[in-house]
Amino acid sequence: MMLFTPGPVAVHPAISKAQEQEMITHRGKQFQALYTPIISDLKTMLNAAEVHILTGSGTLGIEANVQNALPVGGKALVLSNGAFGDKLKEHCALYYETTFVRLNDAQGWNLQRAKPYIDAAAAKHVKLFAMVHHETSPGILNKAGEICRYAKEKGMLTLLDGTSAWPAYSLNHASDSVDFYSWATQKALGCPPGLVVISHSVDAAAAIEKAPVRSNFMNLKTYRKMSLKGETPFTPAISIIYSLHAALELLKKETQPAFIMRYDKMAAHVRARLVKMGFKLVTEPGFESGTVTAFFVQKNKEVNSTLQSKHQVKLGGGHADWAETTLRFCNMGDMDIGKLDKGLNALEHVKKELGV
């Protein structure tokens, strides 16, 4: 089955193969020799003060960041424009008094739209600003850097859910004024699922030390302590760490700017062909995704199941507000224009066959 899905995605053979290496234990020199260079590379690429790897899915990293950010009685502001922004609000509301603002119709967040809400929140002593970097439900790339810089100037800690973002979009903790960040291995980097990478600024590290312990597995004070030894507090998914290492080696060889350009070109190709086929795209122009393209299509579920049964092609289903009216054509992982065209040709075929 060819996967044009929002994650898990098709895994490059070299990344897949890396998982087969002989098992080691997570205590001692062999593990430290694997783990420490990965952390060091990620710190450089994200310009982060600290990086930790947690075993679990994207949600684990988001919740760990949220619950380690503020003391009891803290207040948060969450801006959303899709299902994952809505979920982020749910995570924040478990621990903090949370103000929530939602954009509809696949509109993107930029500073102009966010500023009045940040100003109002700052006046009410809100100390945590949170939003999604790349909203996966219809594929919206929010202008997170300009918004976080402003929220930080207003005295807030900033937290981004980057689960489906990095490394398809750059993130620089220092210049983007981002304190807490997280992304999952099964999406843009094209690894198997199983790990979430969280990264922090100096301010985030200080906040973690002040926050109360709200769970044991997500207690980031423990991760900070163990990272001094080059280890994780709990047994990590070592096989996926091998694949993460292989994926980062490929990324370093290609360089991240070239990786981003390659993804942008693929997404532009998908958009152009979908429009040529007569589909209407979902996302507001100016906020297009380099990885996930949602388009309106009648009989969306029938189209996707026909693609699977007749062409071994699987697209991302419609999600959230767009569940019944759209499909998502994604270009992450082991992908190139030739493979995209196979999927797009199949879609063109099914479109005619079903008359949609």
Binding site for ligand PLP (CB under 6 A): 6-7, 57-59, 84, 132, 136, 161, 163-164, 184
Residue 119 beta carbon to ligand PLP: minimum distance, rounded to whole angstroms: 26
* Closer residue to ligand PLP in complex, CB, 192/343: 192
On whether the CB atoms of residues 201 and 174 are closer than 8 A, the answer is yes
Residue 6 beta carbon to ligand PLP: minimum distance, rounded to whole angstroms: 6
* Closer residue to ligand PLP in complex, CB, 163/201: 163
Give the angle 69-72-77 at the CA atoms, nearest 5°: 55
What residues does 198 pair with on adjacent strands? 52, 182
To 10 degrees, the CA torsion angle through 55, 330, 147, 221? 0
Closest CA to 42 of 223, 226, 175, 181: 181
Place of tokens 């918004």: 147
On whether the CB atoms of residues 132 and 80 are closer than 8 A, the answer is yes
On whether the CB atoms of residues 35 and 230 are closer than 8 A, the answer is yes
And the tokens for 264? 């942008």
And the tokens for 157? 């800690």
Kindly report the length of the chain.
356
Residue 155 beta carbon to ligand PLP: minimum distance, rounded to whole angstroms: 26
Residue 132 beta carbon to ligand PLP: minimum distance, rounded to whole angstroms: 5
* Closer residue to ligand PLP in complex, CB, 59/170: 59
Residue 317 beta carbon to ligand PLP: minimum distance, rounded to whole angstroms: 12
Instruction: Give the dihedral sign, CA 131/135/137/138.
Output: positive
Closest-CB residue for ligand PLP? 58
* Closer residue to ligand PLP in complex, CB, 6/230: 6
Closest CA to 167 of 95, 255, 277: 255
Residue 7 beta carbon to ligand PLP: minimum distance, rounded to whole angstroms: 6
* Closer residue to ligand PLP in complex, CB, 10/356: 10
* Closer residue to ligand PLP in complex, CB, 5/306: 5
